[in-house]
């Protein structure tokens, strides 16, 4: 069950045989059940349902086809009418990939134990929908079949709850099924080091993600996802055009709330972990710059220009939409990492050196800092933007992005990191320029619950044991200075 709006929804399922199944749908408003689907036979089935009524509960059964058993009966509820100011609740959490242990904490690359717990809370707390910002499974495998089996396991875990509650899904760095190249080491003739690059379409991670998951496509304001990014030619005869963004960049509205998902892990190139760098005198953050120069592609946390233009256009439309009071932006890698990812995300401090951030604007793709600043300046432009929601760091933190950090940050916006979905936890870092802006930090597994009564937006953060870790009343005091 995905892409629920005030008047539509998408129901999807898979079968091991080619079938032409259908959905039987009914509500208290319908005299007769509706039968939808039964397109041409296949194994992946996606039925888009239109013409639904707002704030209505629908019951459905999937009839997968001849000689197959029907599904359980599930129900879902459509969104309130656009612009309605009334109470609803949703959750946000991230990074449910495998923990450091084994068994159920590493079920085919997923921490099923913690993830299931948080999914059950989503149901128990009667959330209308969930936002998940990536790192669903371990990924980082060159074996596409194995990677797709991880996605299948993820869906099996989500299914019991996801059949009734829509989850909007973002892409993270662990959504990664790359090719490995050997890069000649300019420092040691005859030596080479391994680097990963995202595959080209139709096997880029953006394509795999869009094929396997059901998400909205493009902006809710009617324009498609960003055009593929491009760059000058590279060695190895690789394409100069990046993959299609597909369903990794999109937005949707729920009543008076606008949510935009961006892709911080587009067209990834990186060096392979485990290579011995100790004998190298040439250290460009462990060879990543060399890999980018040779292979092209992009580094994690670097926001590319077409996507930023897309975001600005999308947020501008939401800002001028009188139905919308709040905007949230979901970004897997945080603009200001503070708990485990100083040496990537949108900072790229050099490992084992005092945190100060690398800035190499002379590089072809520039560096993350100017693009991060461009990203933040876009968020600052639109007063309805209340927060950027991130994962990547396996903990919880909340910090204020405001003029105390940089005089150009003229309006306070919260950065909320909730990456405690099951991946190995990280402790708080120190030494970065925004250290004093961090208002709350917890290494516990966690999820964020947002509540609105129509007038204010409120955040309560819980551990997996339902202790309250943090809360923010009245987001509007931050986003709408009075
Ligand atoms: Fe991540
Ligand atoms: Fe992560």
CA of 431 to the centre of ligand 1 (A): 21
Token output for 244: 């299609």
- Choice among 13-27, 130-144, 292-306, 361-375 with the minimum mean pLDDT: 361-375
Q: Determine the Cα–Cα distance for residues 396 and 461; give it in Å rounded to an integer.
A: 9
The per-residue pLDDT for range 171-181, each reduced to its tens digit, is 999 999 999 99
φ, ψ dihedrals at 336, nearest 5° = -125, 85
CA of 389 to the centre of ligand 1 (A): 13
CA of 423 to the centre of ligand 2 (A): 6
φ, ψ dihedrals at 469, nearest 5° = -90, -35
CA of 84 to the centre of ligand 1 (A): 35
Token output for 186: 């300019």
End-to-end alpha-carbon separation of the chain, Å?
Answer: 40
Q: Whose atoms come closest to the Cα of 420: which ligand?
A: 2
What pLDDT does residue 234 have?
66
Q: Determine the Cα–Cα distance for residues 338 and 438; give it in Å rounded to an integer.
A: 8
What does 50-107 look like in DSSP terms, one character per residue? --PPTT-EEEEEEE--TTSPPPPPEEEEPPPPTT----EEEEEE---B--SS-GGGGB
CA of 359 to the centre of ligand 2 (A): 24
CA of 341 to the centre of ligand 1 (A): 9
Q: Whose atoms come closest to the Cα of 97: which ligand?
A: 2
What pLDDT does residue 99 have?
84
Bridge-partner residues for 447, per DSSP? Answer: 462
CA of 336 to the centre of ligand 2 (A): 15
CA of 204 to the centre of ligand 2 (A): 20
* Residue 46, number of CB atoms within 10 A of its CB: 14
Q: Name all domains of the chain by residue range, CATH numbers in brackets.
A: 79-479 (3.60.21.10)
Q: Are 347 and 301 in contact (CB under 8 A)?
A: yes
Q: Determine the Cα–Cα distance for residues 198 and 205; give it in Å rounded to an integer.
A: 7
What does 307-334 look like in DSSP terms, one character per residue? HHHHHHHHHHHHHT-TT--EEEEEESS-
CA of 288 to the centre of ligand 2 (A): 19
Which one, of 448, 450, 386, 381, lies nearest residue 417 by Cα?
Answer: 448
Q: Can you list the alpha helix ranges (DSSP code H) found in 218-321?
A: 288-295, 305-319
Q: Whose atoms come closest to the Cα of 172: which ligand?
A: 1
Mean pLDDT of 308-318: 98
Q: In what order do the strands lie in the sheet with 396-401?
A: 250-254, 257-262, 326-331, 385-390, 413-418, 396-401, 438-442
Confidence of residue 286 (pLDDT cuts 50, 70, 90): low
CA of 364 to the centre of ligand 2 (A): 27
Q: Determine the Cα–Cα distance for residues 119 and 92; give it in Å rounded to an integer.
A: 10
Q: Whose atoms come closest to the Cα of 175: which ligand?
A: 1
CA of 443 to the centre of ligand 1 (A): 15
What pLDDT does residue 337 have?
95
CA of 295 to the centre of ligand 1 (A): 22
The per-residue pLDDT for range 129-170, each reduced to its tens digit, is 999 999 999 999 999 999 999 999 999 999 999 999 999 999
CA of 419 to the centre of ligand 1 (A): 8
Which one, of 130, 118, 134, lies nearest residue 91 by Cα?
Answer: 130
The beta-strand segments (E) located in 2-41 are 9-19, 22-27, 34-37
CA of 171 to the centre of ligand 2 (A): 11
The beta-strand segments (E) located in 54-161 are 57-63, 74-77, 88-93, 129-132
Confidence of residue 88 (pLDDT cuts 50, 70, 90): very high
Confidence of residue 232 (pLDDT cuts 50, 70, 90): confident
CA of 99 to the centre of ligand 1 (A): 13
CA–CA distances in Å: residue 354 to residues 349, 350, 406, 436: 8, 8, 20, 16
Say yes or no to pLDDT of 207 above 70.
Answer: yes
CA of 177 to the centre of ligand 1 (A): 14
The per-residue pLDDT for range 346-355, each reduced to its tens digit, is 988 766 555 4
CA of 162 to the centre of ligand 1 (A): 22
Q: Cβ contacts of residue 249 below 8 Å, gap of 6+?
A: 218, 225, 226, 261, 262, 263, 307, 310, 311
Q: Whose atoms come closest to the Cα of 334: which ligand?
A: 1
CA of 391 to the centre of ligand 1 (A): 7
CA of 64 to the centre of ligand 1 (A): 36
Token output for 122: 């989503």
Which one, of 192, 167, 164, 171, lies nearest residue 180 by Cα?
Answer: 192
Is 146 exposed, middle or buried (CB count within 10 Å of its CB: 0-12, 13-18, 19+)? middle
What pLDDT does residue 364 have?
38
Bridge-partner residues for 27, per DSSP? Answer: 58
CA of 264 to the centre of ligand 1 (A): 9
Q: Whose atoms come closest to the Cα of 171: which ligand?
A: 1
* Ion ligand 1 — residues with CB < 5 Å: 135, 172-173, 392
CA of 209 to the centre of ligand 1 (A): 15
Q: Determine the Cα–Cα distance for residues 258 and 479; give it in Å rounded to an integer.
A: 14
Which one, of 322, 383, 385, 382, lies nearest residue 82 by Cα?
Answer: 322
Q: Cβ contacts of residue 475 below 8 Å, gap of 6+?
A: 326, 386, 387, 414, 456, 457, 458, 459
Which one, of 440, 384, 390, lies nearest residue 416 by Cα?
Answer: 390
Q: Cβ contacts of residue 122 below 8 Å, gap of 6+?
A: 91, 130, 161, 165, 447
What pLDDT does residue 218 have?
97
Number of DSSP helices (H) and strands (E) in the chain, helices first: 7, 22
Q: Can you state the percent helix, strand and coil of the chain, rounding each to 5?
A: 20, 30, 50
CA of 358 to the centre of ligand 2 (A): 22
Say yes or no to pLDDT of 360 above 50.
Answer: no
């Amino acid at each position: 069950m995905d892409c629920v709006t005030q008047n539509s929804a998408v129901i999807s399922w898979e079968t091991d045989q080619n079938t032409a199944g259908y959905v039987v749908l009914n509500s208290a408003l319908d005299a007769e059940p509706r039968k939808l689907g039964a397109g041409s036979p296949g194994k992946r089935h996606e039925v888009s349902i239109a013409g639904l009524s707002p704030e209505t509960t629908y019951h459905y059964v999937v009839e997968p086809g001849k000689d197959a058993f029907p599904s359980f009966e599930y129900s879902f509820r459509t969104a309130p009418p656009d612009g309605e100011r009334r109470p609803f609740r949703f959750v946000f959490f991230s990074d449910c990939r495998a923990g450091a242990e084994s068994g159920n904490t590493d079920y085919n690359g997923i921490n099923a134990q913690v993830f299931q717990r948080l999914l059950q809370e989503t149901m128990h707390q009667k959330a209308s929908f969930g936002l998940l910002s990536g790192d669903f499974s371990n990924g980082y495998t060159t074996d596409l079949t194995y990677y797709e089996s991880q996605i299948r396991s993820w869906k099996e875990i989500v299914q019991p709850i996801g059949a009734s509650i829509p989850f909007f899904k973002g892409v993270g760095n662990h959504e990664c099924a790359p090719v490995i190249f050997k890069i000649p080491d300019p420092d040691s003739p005859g030596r080479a080091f391994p680097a990963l690059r995202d595959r080209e379409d139709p096997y880029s991670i953006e394509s795999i993600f869009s094929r396997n998951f059901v998400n909205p496509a493009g902006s809710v304001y009617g324009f498609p996802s960003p055009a593929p990014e491009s760059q000058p030619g590279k060695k190895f005869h690789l394409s100069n055009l990046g993959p299609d963004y597909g369903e990794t960049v999109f937005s949707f509205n729920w009543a008076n709330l606008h949510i935009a998902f961006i892709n911080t892990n587009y067209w990834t190139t990186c060096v392979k972990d485990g290579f011995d760098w100790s004998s190298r005198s040439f250290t460009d953050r462990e060879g990543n710059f060399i890999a980018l120069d040779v292979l092209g592609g992009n580094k994690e946390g670097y926001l590319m220009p077409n996507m930023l233009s897309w975001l600005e256009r999308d947020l501008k439309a939401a800002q001028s939409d009188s139905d919308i009071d709040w905007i949230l932006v979901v970004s897997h890698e945080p603009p200001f990492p503070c708990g485990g990812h100083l040496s990537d995300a949108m900072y790229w401090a050099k490992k084992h050196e005092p945190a100060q951030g690398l800035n190499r604007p002379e590089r072809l793709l520039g560096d993350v800092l100017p693009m991060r600043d461009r990203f933040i300046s876009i968020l600052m432009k639109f007063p309805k933007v209340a927060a950027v929601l991130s994962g990547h760091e396996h903990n919880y933190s909340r910090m204020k992005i405001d003029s105390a950090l940089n005089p150009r940050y003229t309006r306070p916006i919260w950065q909320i990191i909730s990456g405690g979905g099951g991946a190995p936890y990280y402790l708080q870092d120190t030494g970065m320029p925004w250290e004093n802006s961090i208002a709350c930090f917890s290494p516990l597994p966690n999820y964020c619950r947002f509540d609105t009564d129509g007038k204010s937006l409120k955040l309560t953060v819980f551990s997996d044991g339902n202790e309250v870790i943090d809360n923010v009343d009245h987001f509007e005091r931050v986003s709408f200075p009075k």
